[in-house]
Amino acid sequence: MAKVVLDFEKPIYSLQAKIDEMRSYHIEGNLDLSTEIDRLEKKVNELRKSIYSNLTRWQRVQLARHPERPYTLDYIYLMFSNFTELHGDRNFGDDKAIVGGFAQMGKQTVMVVGHQKGRDTKSNLMRNFGMPNPEGYRKALRLFKLAEKFNKPVITFIDTPGAFPGLEAEERGQGEAIARNLFEMAKLKVPVICAVIGEGASGGALGIGVGDRLIMMENTWYSVISPESCSSILWHSWDYKEQAAEALKLSAQDLLDQGLIDKIVEEPLGGAHHDPEEAAKNLKKAISDELKSLKKLSQEELVSARIEKYSKMGVYDYL
């Protein structure tokens, strides 16, 4: 059970608390409440289903940001063995908002790279809340190239509120670092699978997000801007985040409908944090299925199909 309860989850948790209370009376007070407990158990399960299957887009955004959600390193340890983290961009430093290294998925060696958030103040400062600086993107690129050299597939995990909008980030070329990754990822000669596991905010997400397959976990979002920033720019107020989330159509289902992603990975009821093992198992299955189909392609076919995939993205009309 999650420690952090979101507003829309409160009815579930208060009913659950009532059941727990009854159960203690049932045991301690020699009162037979089993019929009533059964009835409420059924009710709470129905409530859970109805709340979690009718989430608004803004509620999905909140789930995607849930502080107990599994992050990149959690998925790495749940899905792979032998993870060997590799640090640094060989130029400026080691950005801890992006982690990566070789790991094994069964017998297959893969290069895994992802945004990394922290869980408390200290680790969030170290991870910069999952907001990379240019050296983070350059580290990622170094690792992609390493994967290409040894002919190993690349798997990326996307989970960022955005690339860091800081003074030094600009000095060191945040724009150039992201742009370079888009260019280089488009022509990597190995399979690339990208999975959104939490937040996919704008260029900061895309900077490690160009691949042959794009997967989204069920309760994640991916768009050009966060609902809050969109509200502030288009409505000139921070108060329209719910409307902005609706307008941006940023959920996994939306993006599948828009033809921009390939697959949605189901999460345990209530979100990945309710059962990280289950979430990781589903994600691993999706990734290995996609890898299997991609391995049938030659390097040339792989790259030209990837460029073709992106070339088709966009809708327009004629006067």
Q: What's the distance, Cα to Cα, between the start and end of the chain in Å?
A: 55
Task: Decide if residue 233 touches other proteins (CB under 8 A).
Answer: yes
How many Cα neighbours within 13 Å face the side chain of 66? 25
d(CA 217, CA 93): 31
Segment interacting with other proteins, rule: CB under 8 A, options 65-73, 102-110, 151-159, 252-260: 252-260
Task: Decide if residue 39 touches other proteins (CB under 8 A).
Answer: no
Residue of 37, 224, 256, 269 that binds other proteins (CB under 8 A): 224
Pick 10 or 187: Cβ nearer other proteins:
187
Minimum Å gap between C-beta 210 and other proteins is: 5
d(CA 263, CA 253): 9
For residues 101 and 84, is the Cβ–Cβ distance under 8 A?
yes
d(CA 302, CA 287): 16
d(CA 26, CA 29): 6
d(CA 63, CA 52): 10
Residue of 11, 67, 93, 173 that binds other proteins (CB under 8 A): 173
Task: Decide if residue 25 touches other proteins (CB under 8 A).
Answer: no
Task: Decide if residue 316 touches other proteins (CB under 8 A).
Answer: yes
Question: Which value, in Å, is the radius of gyration of the alpha carbons in the chain?
Answer: 21
Question: Smallest Cα–Cα separation from 130: which of 108, 89, 98, 103?
Answer: 98
For residues 256 and 220, is the Cβ–Cβ distance under 8 A?
no
d(CA 188, CA 154): 9
Task: Decide if residue 318 touches other proteins (CB under 8 A).
Answer: yes
Q: What are phi and psi of 110, to 5 degrees?
A: -130, 160
Residue of 127, 198, 222, 276 that binds other proteins (CB under 8 A): 222
Minimum Å gap between C-beta 97 and other proteins is: 14
| Alpha-carbon distances, residue 78 vs 70, 114, 159, 207, 312 (angstroms) | 10, 14, 17, 24, 35
Residue of 63, 64, 193, 250 that binds other proteins (CB under 8 A): 250
Residue of 248, 252, 279, 294 that binds other proteins (CB under 8 A): 248
d(CA 215, CA 194): 6
Q: How many residues bind other proteins (CB under 8 A)?
A: 56
Residues 177-216 touching other proteins, rule: CB under 8 A, are: 178-180, 182-183, 186-187, 202-203, 206-207, 209-210
Residues 107-166 touching other proteins, rule: CB under 8 A, are: 163-166
Residue of 26, 189, 249, 284 that binds other proteins (CB under 8 A): 249
d(CA 118, CA 126): 7
Segment interacting with other proteins, rule: CB under 8 A, options 11-19, 46-54, 220-228, 290-298: 220-228
What does the per-residue mask of binding to other proteins show for 282-311, with x meaning CB under 8 A?
------------------------xx--xx
Kindly list the residues in this chain that would bind other proteins in the complex (CB under 8 A).
163-167, 169-176, 178-180, 182-183, 186-187, 202-203, 206-207, 209-210, 222-225, 230, 233-235, 240, 243-244, 247-250, 254-255, 258, 260, 306-307, 310-311, 313-319
